[in-house]
Structure 1
Amino acid sequence: MQIFISTGEVSGDLQGSLLVAALRKQAIAAGLELEIVALGGDKMAAAGAILLGNTSEIGSFGLLESLPFVLPTLQVQRRAIAYLKQNPPDLVVLIDYMGPNLGIGNYLRRQMPQVPIVYYIAPQVWVSSITLGNTERIIHVCDKLLAIFPEEARYFQDKGAKVTWVGHPLVDRIEHFPSREAARRQLGIADDAIAVALLPASRHQELKYLLPVMFQAAQIMQAKLPQVHFWIPLSLEIYRERIEKQIQRYGL
């Protein structure tokens, strides 16, 4: 059996990797041969997917800000479609990543109507005040929608989608999280230290616009609380140098 999974950005790569691991586990238990090809990132590849293109580094938002990423996104899409033409999958799973995934979904609807499409973690139009017909487009491209929130399931069901609420995948991960004390030991944080996490998200534009504001706030905190120590997760290795330079610039 061959499954094609399409997602983008750091969050999609994480959710995709959890799905790949779960599918492979189920396949082994059922005695099935399973091949998963994907658009995703390093986490999905590490979980066992064959990457047709890495989409975790080309996520963006905004209009003008997104222009540098249009061509790379189109190239990845074309590569995936060319592969699917030659190797029609048994199942397609779309994870978030609305623009590119709707493009791929619409192509498959026209050219390979026999291939079932599942939208897992649909774009969050159900909490947006500006849907602009995106709800109908999402429903149109998929045979089944798997929702991670109850309200999400109700929203799409009311709109006529075939939907099942499956719960949030991160709930399973929480069971394996270390305790606060264990986590602080692993990170080398003293019991009496003040540790503050700065979370600027993972897109290029988010680092560009949010990080300076966060670091300015951190400067104020540091001036009042000299013992404070800041932590920032590295969502992608390509951001390391940029973030380190900013840390030095703001004297954090």
Structure 2
Amino acid sequence: MSRKIYIVAGEVSGDNHGSGLMRAINAHDKVVQFSGLGGSEMKKISESVRDWTDDSAVVGFWEVIKKYKFFKKVFEQVLNEIEDVAPDTVILVDYPGFNLRLAEAIRKRRIETKIVYYISPQVWAWKRGRVVRMAKVIDLMLCLFPFEVSFFEGSGLHAQFVGHPLSETLGPLRGKAKRDTELIALLPGSRNREVEKIFPILLGAADQIRKIMPEMCFAASAANRACAQKMKEMVKSSGVPCKVSVGESHKLMSV
């Protein structure tokens, strides 16, 4: 009998990490049934995962408030789906504002399932009080850094170090790539709001660098085609020569 896993990710980065985890699980268990919410990469692995990252990637308190009705509706839908599907395991990927509340709601409804949280919220840096909440509802925390496991010791939250996906992704790329000392990567983030606010600043910095070091070249990576189009328009307006690609941030970081 196949195991059922319900997985939730809410941003492009979470989609990338979630799809990597799904592939790793499939490598050990070919008959796992995935369903849930994520992005285009997770949907490639399972058609039962819905892509919602265009709507779910928000920055700041006010963006959440503006989309409150949307998030409330999705939250209730997801909770009902989990109750109906009755998965063996629920995997929550990052996205703590949504996912920690979801974990608590699952427990409140007394849905019998294991809850695994992948990529710990940075409670060691801020809002440490959340550790107590997390320990009450999460069965296993999968950590990217060894010190996070030590941080959770004694809290009642079982944590395990699984390594950072970038160490596996960038390592092989760096081995193959030819180093380009005259290339600077401009990486504003994956959310639309981040691009709108940060990319013009990065282009301004690039323009100043060109005045001092005219031999330097610039490249940027967008999370999706729509974002890339917006970035290309900004590049054109700035007058800074910068090549914009889609989904190549890891490649840019390796050269």
TM-score class, shorter-chain normalisation, is 0.7 to 0.9
Q: 1:122 to 1:42 in 2, by over 3 A?
A: same
Residue 245 of structure 2 corresponds to: none
1:229-248 correspondence runs (5 A): 229-248=217-236
2:165 matches 1:169: yes
Structure 2: stretches of 5+ with no match in the other structure: 241-255
* Structure 2 counterpart of 1:6, from 5, 8, 33: 8
Q: Distance in 2 between matches of 1:86 and 1:217?
A: 51
2:210 matches 1:222: yes
| TM value normalised by structure 1 | 0.85
Q: Distance in 2 between matches of 1:151 and 1:5?
A: 25
| TM value normalised by structure 2 | 0.84
> Are the equivalent residues in 2 in contact too, given 1:40–1:56 (CA < 8 A)?
no
1:76-112 CA distance string (max 9 Å, x none): 2222222222211111111111011122111211223
* Structure 2 counterpart of 1:92, from 85, 90, 93: 90
**In structure 2, what residue type is equivalent to 1:142?**
I
Q: Distance in 2 between matches of 1:12 and 1:56?
A: 13
Mean Cα displacement is larger for which, 236-245 or 90-99?
Answer: 236-245
**In structure 1, what residue type is equivalent to 2:65?**
L
**In structure 1, what residue type is equivalent to 2:208?**
I
1:47-100 CA distance string (max 9 Å, x none): 336213523652223222433343333332222222222211111111111011
1:21-69 CA distance string (max 9 Å, x none): 11111113xxxx2111121100111133621352365222322243334
1:188-207 correspondence runs (5 A): 194-207=182-195
> Are the equivalent residues in 2 in contact too, given 1:38–1:49 (CA < 8 A)?
no
1:9-28 correspondence runs (5 A): 9-28=11-30
Q: Distance in 2 between matches of 1:60 and 1:16?
A: 18
> Are the equivalent residues in 2 in contact too, given 1:8–1:56 (CA < 8 A)?
no
1:1-252 correspondence runs (5 A): 1-28=3-30, 33-48=31-46, 50-55=48-53, 57-128=55-126, 130-131=127-128, 133-179=129-175, 181-182=177-178, 194-252=182-240
> Are the equivalent residues in 2 in contact too, given 1:55–1:73 (CA < 8 A)?
no
CA RMSD of aligned residues (A): 2.1
Q: Distance in 1 between matches of 2:170 and 2:203?
A: 29
Q: Distance in 1 between matches of 2:10 and 2:229?
A: 23
